[in-house]
Structures are given as C-alpha cells and as structure tokens.
Amino acid sequence: MKTFVVVSDSHRNRAALDRLDGVFAECDCIVHLGDLSSDGGYIRGKYPDKTIVINGNCDIDKLGDDERVTEAEGVKIFMCHGHAYGVKYTLSRLAEEAKANGCSVALYGHTHCPRTDEIDGVKLINPGNLSRYSQNSYCYLTVHEGKIVEKIVNL
C-alpha cells in the first residue's frame, strides 16, 4: 500500500502547509500541484525524498515539472496543474492526455474546487486549494494492489 497527500494552489499560505506537517510526515508521497511551486519547494525542503512538485500557471520560479507520470502499486498517475488542459471549462482534454500516457488517474489543481470525476475510465481528482481566501482542502490518496481510494479532506 502507498499513501499520497495531494495539495494544490497554496499561493504562499505556508501556515496551511505547516498544519499538514503530521500527515506529510506519515505518508509515502507528497504532491504539490502548483501555484506556487515555491511552496512545493518549501515542503520538499522538509521532506526531500518524497515530495513531487508540479509547476502552475502562477509560477515564475519553476521548481518542479510541468507534468509528471508516476506509478504506484500498478496504478499510473498523471500529474499536472490543469491550466494547459482548460480544466475550468472541461475535463475531457485532461482525461484524454492521461489516457494517452497510459494513466488511469489524473491529479490536477487550478480551479481551487475539490472534486472527483471519472471520464472514459480515467479518475480525475482535484484536491481543492490551500490559499488564504477560501475553504482549504487536500486529498488523501491510497493505492493498493491496482486500486485507488481518494478522500477529500476539508481543513
């Protein structure tokens, strides 16, 4: 079993990131989906061996990847910020890209709205945001023997 904590759109709200230190410490992998990747770098400074940083549309300092594919327990996961796929308007382009990369899961941010959808066999997960200006949330993701279970957690 592998556990992920997925966050996005922290926009320099390091206090929210610090509140997650306990869950960051116990999980296998931390994913910051951009805006701001410098916040992802802040997390990586504390947990260098298990943090993945993705760049977002507001990231001047590009401290991560624009996109990334990882595999855990037989599940391929596509990661991006989402802006390049127009996720504020449709999720179909993101689902197509994930599928083209052989992934059954896509993690994305950008909209600040937590949600889980499924399109054409691809599970699409947005953890919400950790900014100062709205309800904060993250996603706790468990992957075990080819199956994935996600839980959106409100702070």
The proportion of the chain whose per-residue pLDDT surpasses 90, expressed as a percent, equals 95
In this prediction, residue 146 carries a pLDDT of: 95
Q: Is the pTM of this model over 0.95?
A: yes
Q: Mean pLDDT, to the nearest integer, of 37-58?
A: 97
Q: What is the pLDDT of residue 134?
A: 86
Q: Measure the CA–CA gap between 48 and 67, rounded to whole angstroms.
A: 19
Mean per-residue pLDDT for 69-91?
98
Bridge pairing between strands 115-119 and 122-126: antiparallel
Continuous segment of H or E residues that includes residue 53: strand 51-53
Pairing of strands 2-7, 29-32: parallel
Q: Which segments of the chain does DSSP mark as H helices, in order?
A: 14-19, 21-26, 37-46, 92-100
Per-residue pLDDT reduced to its tens digit, 119-143: 999 999 999 999 988 899 999 999 9
Q: 3-class SS at 25? A: helix
Q: Sketch out the chain's domains with CATH numbers.
A: 2-154 (3.60.21.10)
Distance separating alpha carbons of residues 48 and 1, to the nearest angstrom: 21
